[in-house]
Structures are given as structure tokens and as C-alpha cells.
């Protein structure tokens, strides 16, 4: 199996909340680090012990308890914006790794609850502290109640929501990469333009200097 296959297999075991509690900028980055042997398998609090055991099995490593220094392993939550206090600064949109917040600058923002992973990254980003976290309903049909069994909740999440969260994270990453490329292209164009202008200015100065010198020679 190739390295890319190993990364995909590990990524498929992760909950895709993209919360960064593992210390990496998303589940895929953590999967890559595990595949190259530079990260332990016990760093995903949302996945808890069952995901750590799956990762250990996949890599034929010993099972380890979750490293609680990564985060509290809380139950899944949803973000909710107090729209009466939102000032429309768009900071939460920039922070959300799965594009689960909609709104325009200077306007009220709102969370698309069906897409929120509860990663909490928008909460510290809000300058007026108007985002709260509420319990996430059981993923899937009906969405009623949280259920008593955290493993059943995680299984339902992995089947129902994780693939969508991964797809939204990847789309956002691709969009941001394309924007960075466009900006780099514009900067390169501007630099080329400035360099061309400098070359032309130097040529004009040389011609003027030659003419002045020729004029002095005739006198
Ligand atoms: S769910 Fe969070 S902690 Fe777990 S791998 Fe993904 S980003 Fe890391
Ligand atoms: S709305 Fe907030 S908590 Fe929900 S996914 Fe986006 S950043 Fe995370
Ligand atoms: S960060 Fe807070 S104030 Fe700014 S748009 Fe989001 S919810 Fe509104």
C-alpha cells in the first residue's frame, strides 16, 4: 500500500471536525503526520478511545489512552450566534474550517447548523463574544436527542456527517490555495511591471546621457 493510501485510510478513521486539538491544521494533516511516524495515534479528543484504537490497529501500533493534554474530549456541540449582538465583522467566517457560517460584512451572521462540526474555532475569533455552544442533536434521521451512548453518537457522526465535513474542508482549502495563487500571480505581474519600468527608465537615461555627451562634444 502506498503512503497516499495509508494517509487516506487514516484520514477515513478521523472524525473530520477539523478542530485542531491534535495540534495539526485539520484531520488530513494529522493523518499525514501519523503516516510518516511523527505523531502519536492518541491525539484526537473528538474521536476518543475508539478512534485511537482504530488508528492503532491500522498502523499495527499498541493502543494508547487519549492524550488529554490535547483537549477535553467533550461531547459534540454546535455553534449558535446571538444575532442581536453580531456586528458583522466576518471574523467567524474566516475562522470556520468547513464554511458553516454565512453572512456579509456589516450584516448579521448565522451558523448553518447542519454543517457545523462544533470545532469551536469561531468562538475565540468573535470580538463581541456572541457565539455560544449548544449540544449537537444525534446525527442522522430525525436528529432527536443526543442518545445515551457516546460510541453510537460517534458512529452516527462518522457515517452521516464526517464525509460532508471532509468535503467542505477540502473545498475551502482548494479555494484558499487558488486565491493565494492568484495573489502571488498578481504580485509577480506587479513586480515584472516594475522591473520593466525600471529597465525602460534606465535605457531612457542612457540615451539622454549619450545625447548630452554628444552635444558637449560638438561645442
Ligand atoms: S477531529 Fe480535530 S483533533 Fe481529531 S484529527 Fe481532526 S482536527 Fe485533529
Ligand atoms: S460554525 Fe464555528 S463551531 Fe461550527 S464548524 Fe464553523 S467554526 Fe466550527
Ligand atoms: S465574529 Fe462575531 S460579531 Fe463577527 S460576524 Fe461572527 S458572530 Fe458576528
Nearest atom in ligand 3 to 89's CA: 4
Is the pLDDT confidence value at 77 over 60?
A: yes
96 C-alpha to ligand 1 centroid (Å): 14
Ligand 2 contact, 53 CB (< 6 A) = no
Phi, psi of 79 (to 5 degrees): -85, 145
CA of 27 to the centre of ligand 1 (A): 5
CATH classification number, 77-169, choose in 3.40.50.300, 3.30.70.20, 1.10.1060.10, 3.40.47.10: 3.30.70.20
Grid cell at residue 111:
451558523
Radius of gyration for the alpha carbons in the chain, expressed in angstroms and rounded: 26
pLDDT in tens, 31-74: 999 999 999 999 999 999 999 999 999 999 999 999 999 998 87
- pTM comes to 0.83
- Which atom of ligand 1 has the smallest separation from the CA of 71? 3
Q: For the chain, give every residue range classified as CATH 3.30.70.20.
A: 77-169
Non-local (6+) Cβ contacts of 125 within 8 A are 91, 92, 94, 95
Q: Is any ligand 3 atom within 6 A of the Cβ of residue 90?
A: yes
Residue whose CB lies within 8 A of the most ligand 1 atoms, among 47, 118, 121, 154, for a mutation test: 47
Pairing of strands 110-111, 101-102: antiparallel
Cell of 194: 516594475
Confidence of residue 199 (pLDDT cuts 50, 70, 90): confident
Query: Measured in angstroms, how far is the CA atom of residue 163 from the centroid of ligand 2?
Result: 16
- Cα distance between residue 207 and residue 215, in whole Å: 12
Portions of the chain given CATH number 1.10.15.40: 3-59
Q: Which of 78, 90, 96, 129 for mutating ligand 3's site (highest number of atoms within 8 Å of CB)?
A: 90
Q: Is 135 left (phi over 0), alpha (psi -120 to 50) or beta?
A: beta
- Does position 110 have pLDDT exceeding 90, yes or no? yes
H-assigned helices in the chain: 3-13, 27-35, 48-59, 91-95, 122-125, 150-160, 162-218
pLDDT digits (tens, 9 = 90+) for 178-196: 888 887 787 777 778 878 8
Number of the ligand closest to the Cα of 48: 1
pLDDT at 1: 63
Which CATH number applies to 3-59? 1.10.15.40
Distance of CA 207 from the midpoint of ligand 1 (Å): 64
pLDDT the model gives residue 123? 98
Amino acid at each position: 500500500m502506498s503512503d497516499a493510501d495509508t494517509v487516506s485510510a487514516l484520514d477515513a478513521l478521523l472524525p473530520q471536525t477539523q478542530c485542531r486539538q491534535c495540534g495539526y491544521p485539520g484531520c488530513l494533516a494529522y493523518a499525514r503526520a501519523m503516516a510518516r511516524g511523527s505523531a502519536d495515534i492518541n491525539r484526537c479528543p473528538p474521536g476518543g478511545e475508539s478512534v485511537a484504537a482504530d488508528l492503532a490497529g491500522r498502523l499495527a501500533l499498541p493502543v494508547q489512552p487519549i492524550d488529554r493534554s490535547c483537549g477535553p474530549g467533550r461531547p459534540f456541540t454546535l455553534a449558535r450566534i446571538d444575532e442581536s449582538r453580531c456586528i458583522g465583522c466576518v471574523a467567524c467566517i474566516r475562522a470556520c474550517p468547513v464554511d458553516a457560517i454565512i453572512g456579509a460584512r456589516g450584516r448579521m451572521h448565522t451558523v448553518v447548523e447542519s454543517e457545523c462540526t462544533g470545532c469551536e474555532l469561531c468562538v475565540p475569533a468573535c470580538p463581541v463574544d456572541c457565539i455560544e455552544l449548544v449540544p449537537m442533536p444525534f446525527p442522522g434521521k430525525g436528529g432527536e436527542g443526543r442518545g445515551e451512548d457516546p460510541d453510537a453518537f460517534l458512529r452516527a457522526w462518522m457515517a452521516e456527517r464526517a464525509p460532508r465535513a471532509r468535503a467542505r474542508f477540502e473545498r475551502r482549502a482548494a479555494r484558499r490555495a487558488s486565491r493565494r495563487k492568484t495573489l502571488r500571480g498578481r504580485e509577480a505581474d506587479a513586480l515584472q511591471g516594475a522591473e520593466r519600468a525600471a529597465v525602460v527608465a534606465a535605457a531612457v537615461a542612457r540615451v539622454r546621457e549619450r545625447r548630452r555627451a554628444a552635444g558637449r562634444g560638438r561645442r
